[in-house]
């Protein structure tokens, strides 16, 4: 069974100050143009007075083109002071994956992509190691080896930035990429650069979280997918999960058990992102998970 919808769809995502009548205005707008709502979610953050909305619209019977739809929506957006976009779901998003030596997250993402579970275009994989080239190329995806020397990383990241830019990436995924991303890349891809951290944040930020977890004697370990900001491991959280461990687990067992959580949490986070289910505001996310 395919994940690709049998409809032609577009996704309208909105975030704005809360006010009476937004849902009415937006759903009127869509209905008047013969758009039919397949899935619609909204959320009001009462404390902040902020409104969030995601509409997945069947556009098969839409009375206007998507460009016209966008053009006409502008007036409404202005009225309610919206941050918004309309995504044409027929156009696959371009994703760059970055990895280091560990293969589990990358292998998992590639398999999900190959079996149509992750609907996107993986344009290339960038790694500071060579060991995953075979796996990537077997999937028919270009592999770029960009070593990152300890002394001076500037050139390496200039190359990375260049590859990402050249591929016109919509989204960059750090699939256990073990290098710190420089600030300019973070800000260029703000809200589109996803990392998996191998702990239940904010526990065990920084390096060696499994060792720290082992030393603290926690009874659950976890993983966190989040948008990358300049503050390491402090960005908006998309998803988290945990797995039970016990005194009988060695440090290696934590690493092994953690891998399964990392894979799932990253894949889920990326899927939500690609489906425009995540709306960032400040350092928090609204995730209209299914």
Residue recorded with tokens 């039970």: 244
Find the binding residues for a copy of itself in span 166-195 (CB under 8 A): none
Alpha helices, H only, 179-236: 183-188, 209-216
241 binds a copy of itself (CB under 8 A): yes
What is the token pair recorded at 189? Answer: 């891809």
**Whole-number Å distance between alpha carbons of 260 and 247:** 19
Choosing from 31, 83, 91, 92, the residue that interacts with a copy of itself (CB under 8 A) is 31
Of the pair 38, 141, the CB lying nearest a copy of itself is at 38
Could you tell me whether strands 220-227 and 193-197 are parallel, antiparallel, or unpaired per DSSP bridges? antiparallel
Decide if 233 is catalytic.
Answer: yes
240 binds a copy of itself (CB under 8 A): yes
133 binds a copy of itself (CB under 8 A): no
**Whole-number Å distance between alpha carbons of 235 and 192:** 12
88 binds a copy of itself (CB under 8 A): no
**Whole-number Å distance between alpha carbons of 261 and 199:** 10
**Whole-number Å distance between alpha carbons of 185 and 203:** 25
Of the pair 32, 90, the CB lying nearest a copy of itself is at 32
Burial code of 96-112, b = ≥16 C-beta within 10 A, e = fewer? bbbbbebbbbbbbbbeb
Residue recorded with tokens 């690609």: 274
**Whole-number Å distance between alpha carbons of 150 and 178:** 12
Q: Which stretch binds a copy of itself (CB under 8 A): 67-75, 83-91, 109-117, 163-171?
A: 109-117
Find the binding residues for a copy of itself in span 42-61 (CB under 8 A): 42-47, 52, 61
Choosing from 8, 64, 84, 111, the residue that interacts with a copy of itself (CB under 8 A) is 111
Strand partners, 286: 279
Choosing from 64, 203, 230, 232, the residue that interacts with a copy of itself (CB under 8 A) is 203
Find the binding residues for a copy of itself in span 251-280 (CB under 8 A): 251-253, 255-256, 259-260, 264
We find the least distance from the C-beta atom of residue 188 to a copy of itself, in angstroms, to be: 23
Could you tell me whether strands 94-99 and 143-145 are parallel, antiparallel, or unpaired per DSSP bridges? unpaired
Choosing from 170, 233, 239, 276, the residue that interacts with a copy of itself (CB under 8 A) is 239
Choosing from 12, 30, 98, 160, the residue that interacts with a copy of itself (CB under 8 A) is 30
We find the least distance from the C-beta atom of residue 175 to a copy of itself, in angstroms, to be: 13
The catalytic residue positions are 233
């Amino acid at each position: 069974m395919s994940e690709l919808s049998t409809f032609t769809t577009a996704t309208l995502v909105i975030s704005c100050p809360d006010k009476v009548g937004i849902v009415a205005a937006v759903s009127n707008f869509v209905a008047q143009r013969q758009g039919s709502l397949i899935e619609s979610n909204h959320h009001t953050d009462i404390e902040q007075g902020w409104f969030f909305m995601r509409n997945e619209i069947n556009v098969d019977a839409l009375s206007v083109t998507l460009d016209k739809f966008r053009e006409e929506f502008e007036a409404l957006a202005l009225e309610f002071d919206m941050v918004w976009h309309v995504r044409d779901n027929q156009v696959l998003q371009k994703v760059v994956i970055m990895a280091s030596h560990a293969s589990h997250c990358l292998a998992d993402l590639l398999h999900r992509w190959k079996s149509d579970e992750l609907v996107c275009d993986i344009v290339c994989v960038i790694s500071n190691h060579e060991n995953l080239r075979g796996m990537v190329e077997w999937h028919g995806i270009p592999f770029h080896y960009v070593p990152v020397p300890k002394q001076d990383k500037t050139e390496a990241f200039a190359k990375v930035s260049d590859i990402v830019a050249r591929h016109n990436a919509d989204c960059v995924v750090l699939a256990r990429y073990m290098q710190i991303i420089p600030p300019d890349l973070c800000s260029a891809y703000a809200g589109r650069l996803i990392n998996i951290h191998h702990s239940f944040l904010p526990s065990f930020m920084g390096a060696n979280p499994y060792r720290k977890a082992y030393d603290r004697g926690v009874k659950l370990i976890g993983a966190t997918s989040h948008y990358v900001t300049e503050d390491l491991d402090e960005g908006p959280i998309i998803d988290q999960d945990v797995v039970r461990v016990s005194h009988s687990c060695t440090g290696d067992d934590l690493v092994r058990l953690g891998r399964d959580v990392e894979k799932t949490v990253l894949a889920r986070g990326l899927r939500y992102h690609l489906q425009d289910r995540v709306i960032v505001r400040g350092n928090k996310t609204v995730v209209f998970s299914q």
